[in-house]
Amino acid sequence: MKIMKFLSLVTMVLLVVSCNKNGAVTQKSLNTELDSVSYAIGMDVARNVKASFDEFDNDLFIQGFINVSDSTDIILEEAKAQALVRAYFQKMQKEKAAKVKEEGEKAKADGIKFLAENKSKEGVQTTESGLQYIVLKEGEGEKPTTASKVKVHYHGTLIDGTVFDSSVDRGEPTEFGVTQVIKGWTEGLQLMTPGSKYKFFIPSDLAYGANPRPGGKIKPNSTLIFDVELLEVK
């Protein structure tokens, strides 16, 4: 991993240095395996830099690279340079953590307000745990238990209507154990019979809480809404 990061940085320098005075990069063909690997590493570092920096000074990057390579005109001592980089990324991590915390607090407050208003709407039932649901269609047969496996169709949204997951959109039902999902699902599924359709309104503490899947549309402490059709109990 360290070697890849080093090669990526070197490639970036070579690419930037190859720019002419007008800022155009010299175009080369990919004739060998090494050509392709070199280009791929350049692509990789570009994606990482774009993901890590809103702004990046190419000229100073090149200056630092050349100064260390030639051991001349070095402006910063190595220890200080390392400390600067470390401090910068620590600051970025703190800022990101603060933003995530702020988003989570807002999502939690929005969810509490939504559920408080939703519970008085026609057809909404609330369980002791706080799960809210509406029976859209009642089926028949045996309800699943914690030992059951089920086959379902579902459509999941945030309270603002954003779709984050949907077997309906994919056109393919999903199968899983009743206890292999979030708490709100485990509880809600056991209320249903095969052929029934319910709408679940799941508080954040019965969903993913403060730890949703990284990089997804679900923010920390989000209240979730699911349209669920129970197709089969196994």
Is position 182 annotated as part of the catalytic site? Answer: yes
* pTM of full prediction above 0.85: no
What the block records as the tokens of 127 is: 């369980």
Is position 56 annotated as part of the catalytic site? Answer: no
Beta partners for 155?
166, 227
Pairing type for strands 132-137 and 125-126 reads antiparallel
Cβ atoms of 228 and 152 closer than 8 Å: yes
Is position 208 annotated as part of the catalytic site? Answer: yes
Structural domains of the chain sorted by starting position, each given as residue range(s) with its CATH number in brackets = 2-75 (no CATH), 102-233 (3.10.50.40)
Is position 154 annotated as part of the catalytic site? Answer: yes
Among 61, 65, 182, 205, the one annotated catalytic = 182
Among 154, 198, 200, 201, the one annotated catalytic = 154
Is position 61 annotated as part of the catalytic site? Answer: no
Among 165, 176, 201, 218, the one annotated catalytic = 165
Q: Which residue has the tokens 């993901």?
A: 51
Among 134, 159, 164, 227, the one annotated catalytic = 164
Beta partners for 233?
150
Q: What is the pLDDT along the chain (234 residues), one digit of tens a residue?
A: 444 455 445 545 555 555 444 445 557 788 898 888 888 877 887 787 677 777 777 777 667 767 877 778 888 888 888 888 888 889 888 988 898 889 889 999 999 999 999 999 999 999 999 999 999 999 999 999 999 999 999 999 999 999 999 999 999 999 999 999 999 999 999 999 999 999 999 999 999 999 998 888 999 999 999 999 999 999
